[in-house]
Amino acid sequence: MPAGIITTQTHPSIYVESLYSCAIDKFNTAPKQADAIGKVVKQSKGPTVQMKSLGTMGLLPTKGEGQAKALLSFEEQHLYELTAVVKAGAVVITEEAIKDDRYDIITQAGRLLGDAAGHTREQYMLNAWFNNAFDVTKTDDGVYVYSASHTWKNGGAVFSNLGAASAFSIETLWTAINAMRNQKNDQGIPMDMKPTHLYYPIELTQLVTEVFDSQYFPDDDRNAVNAITKFNITPVCVPGLTSSTAWFLANKQNHTMFRWDVWPQSFGHDGDFMTDNSLFSAKSRYAAGVQRPIGLYGSVGA
């Protein structure tokens, strides 16, 4: 075939590089807060990964002179299973668009697909950890992430990480901080779990800013020091939160909000012999969930 001659078989390939470039660029610039919030599961193959924690051993007993050390025991806690899903979609680039050199339409299709793939991953993970965590997502004990009915093990004592349905304020924040610090492990020992991050929606930005940026007690004519600032909590606005009132506390070192990218984001293309159209697709496989309710506290707000 003479150089430069374009056929229905070779013409689509001219746009492939631009399609990939546009899709990848938009995927990479889509919101990525989930990457900063969640902890990575490193298992490379699906479809599920199982996690199990061991209970604590309590306090060490006294050893008498010449006596043997006491043998300590621990119990396995609840089993947790994280299941991956496949998210995929495709767009059709018509033969007419290709032959009419509609470069604007073709590259825009690539950008839209990459943007959709990025936002889908982000929202899926935020839904698991926050948006659906009061009534859909469950932890290893079989109850919702934020609940007053958590247990460390079957038949164990019940504990809560669910705040009252109260509007965000410095008072409700103090209540939440104290509740987190007072949580006890499976042996009844206080964990003093201090929050490191506050996650909140756009609508609470003014209130959160007033609470964290005020040197003195906000909304008060007293000169009382705003002691919240002593905890070094990092407030993070999360636009992907669907509630305008819900807010969440987390201890970054101890929470178990996991994300698992089984298949990295991929883009592909193929031609349709019967229509001479070109199909451009996006596909990935991932999971998100919360293994244990430790280091987390949530309120639906008001």
| Per-residue pLDDT, 219 | 62
Of the listed ranges 15-24, 134-143, 212-221, the one predicted with least confidence: 212-221
Name the residue with higher pLDDT: 102 or 229: 229
Sheet holding 247-250, edge to edge: 234-237, 197-200, 247-250, 296-299
pLDDT higher than 80, residue 175: yes
Instruction: Report the DSSP pairing between strands 197-200 and 234-237.
Output: parallel
| Per-residue pLDDT, 222 | 62
Tally of CB atoms within 10 A around 206:
9
Of the listed ranges 9-13, 221-225, 293-297, the one predicted with least confidence: 9-13
Element (H, E) at 285: strand 278-290
Name the residue with higher pLDDT: 210 or 59: 210
CA–CA dist 159, 191 (Å, integer): 13
pLDDT band of residue 10 (cuts 50, 70, 90) is very low
pLDDT digits (tens, 9 = 90+) for 258-268: 999 998 899 98
Name the residue with higher pLDDT: 59 or 139: 139
**Residue percentage of the chain with pLDDT more than 70:** 92
Three-state DSSP at 115 gives: helix
| Per-residue pLDDT, 208 | 96
Single pTM value for the model: 0.86
Q: Which CATH number does the domain 13-52+82-299 belong to among 2.20.25, 3.40.1130, 2.40.128, 3.90.1690?
A: 3.90.1690
pLDDT digits (tens, 9 = 90+) for 197-253: 999 999 999 999 999 988 776 666 666 778 888 889 999 999 999 999 999 999 999
| Per-residue pLDDT, 4 | 38
Mean of pLDDT values over 174-191: 90
Three-state DSSP at 245 gives: coil
pLDDT band of residue 123 (cuts 50, 70, 90) is very high
Of the listed ranges 108-117, 137-146, 222-231, 251-260, the one predicted with least confidence: 222-231
| Per-residue pLDDT, 8 | 44
| Per-residue pLDDT, 162 | 97
**CA angle (137 as vertex; 162, 148 as ends), nearest 5:** 25
Name the residue with higher pLDDT: 138 or 21: 138
Dihedral angle over CA of 141, 144, 149, 154, nearest 10? -10
Domain boundaries, the chain: 13-52+82-299
